[in-house]
Amino acid sequence: MTTKLKNDRYLRALAKQPVDRTPIWMMRQAGRYLPEYREVRKEAGDFMALCRNAELACEVTLQPLRRFPLDAAILFSDILTIPDAMGLGLYFEEGEGPRFKHPLRDMQSIEALPIPDPEDELGYVMRAVSTIRRELKGEVPLIGFAGSPWTLATYMVEGGSSKNFSEVKKMAFAEPKMMHMLLDKLAQSVTSYLNAQVANGAQALMIFDTWGGVLSPRAYREFSLRYMEQIIDGLTREADGRKVPVTLFTKNGGQWLEAMAATGCDALGIDWTTDMGEARTRVGDKVALQGNMDPSMLYATPERIREEVETILKSYGQGTGQVFNLGHGIHPGVKPENAGAFIEAVTELSPKYHG
């Protein structure tokens, strides 16, 4: 597919090419804070039914782009599609997070885990990718994504969300062989899944390592970073004659930016606990930076949001290489108008930092 992009600000900033203003998109930009999302989700029945229906997944991907002048679309899906395709039985308990019917606790079940074929068991995701790419009509690039092996393992071993990660850490520290077998299978699965997303139309990729930051520095390298590097080594890095940039996001990973930048990725997602300007000084000659407003700032007044946007733009400073975003996903309780004020602030205040 070779439609020329009408707005390629996001890809240009990631490649550190000049831009007229700082591009912006929001993590979890499609989701429960939008009434039109809640409508479609009701129509679909439940979250996974929405992910499995390419037309509806496309519709909710496009919803935030109709409201706001965003510079990228992100595939509507979830990181937990891979463990589901490996046979763990994903389900969502009303009002609670994701759960697995068959959490992993022993060597036998890890040895038996299949590496899913992305065009088969995950074919519904590929159909969503190609549908969205077609319907975007070249307006903005489409971001594909996956969870990091460590982050996926936390859900698979704990059986769902966790507060202290005791089961998954128990496996990592008491049964490291078992954990490494699981992480290696996940790295292989994520690599072929992301490559299939690119083959079906994704123009950029993001790896979400939401829970890498709960590890010690040594354990982070051993159980999380190393497998993200393995994935990056195996990724298709070009499509339609253009580079497919990869962004790595470890929540609470601020202390490891140098090591993350050395993986061969194109950009780092940073959360709000790291100063944007300091991050640029540390790794800005190697990678682009995405972030990093605290999503809770969207509860403040439009004036306060604008002030915060200016602070972050000023902290990054002049020139390209920044993609504006939140430091983590937008909360379901945020008013859409406030998200609008945030995006408007970035589009209005950022041109003076370019050109």
Specify the amino acid at residue 49. A
Helix axis angle, 54-67 to 35-44, nearest 10°: 170
**Shortest CB 322 distance to ligand 1CP, Å:** 19
Q: In 76-197, which ranges are E strands?
A: 90-92, 98-100, 142-147
Residue 150's H or E segment, with its range, is helix 149-158
Q: Which residues ranging from 59 to 118 are in contact with ligand 1CP (CB under 6 A)?
A: 74, 76, 78-80, 97-98
Q: Which is nearer to ligand 1CP, 326 or 349 (CB)?
A: 326
Q: Which is nearer to ligand 1CP, 109 or 162 (CB)?
A: 162
Who contacts 194 (Cβ-Cβ below 8 Å, separation ≥6)? Answer: 144, 145, 146, 202, 205, 231, 235
Active site residues: 28, 32, 41, 78, 155
Residue 63's H or E segment, with its range, is helix 54-67
Q: Which is nearer to ligand 1CP, 37 or 316 (CB)?
A: 37
**Would you count residue 210 as binding ligand 1CP (CB under 6 A)?**
yes
**Shortest CB 32 distance to ligand 1CP, Å:** 5
Q: Which stretch binds ligand 1CP (CB under 6 A): 24-32, 256-264, 282-290, 307-315?
A: 24-32
**Would you count residue 329 as binding ligand 1CP (CB under 6 A)?**
yes
Give the integer Cα–Cα distance in Å for 323 and 22: 6
Q: Which is nearer to ligand 1CP, 101 or 352 (CB)?
A: 101
For the chain, the first-to-last Cα distance in angstroms comes to: 32
**Shortest CB 226 distance to ligand 1CP, Å:** 20
Among 23, 31, 116, 141, binds ligand 1CP (CB under 6 A): 31
Residue of closest CB approach to ligand 1CP:
161
Q: Which residues ranging from 190 to 209 are in contact with ligand 1CP (CB under 6 A)?
A: 208
Q: Which is nearer to ligand 1CP, 314 or 331 (CB)?
A: 331
- Number of residues counted as binding ligand 1CP (CB under 6 A): 21
Q: Which residues ranging from 144 to 183 are in contact with ligand 1CP (CB under 6 A)?
A: 145, 161
Give the integer Cα–Cα distance in Å for 177 and 183: 10
Burial class (CB in 10 A: 0-12, 13-18, 19+), 156: buried
Beta strands 90-92 and 98-100, pairing class: antiparallel
Residue 125 CA to its chain's centroid (Å): 15
Q: Give residues in contact with ligand 1CP (CB under 6 A).
A: 27-32, 41, 47, 74, 76, 78-80, 97-98, 145, 161, 208, 210, 328-329
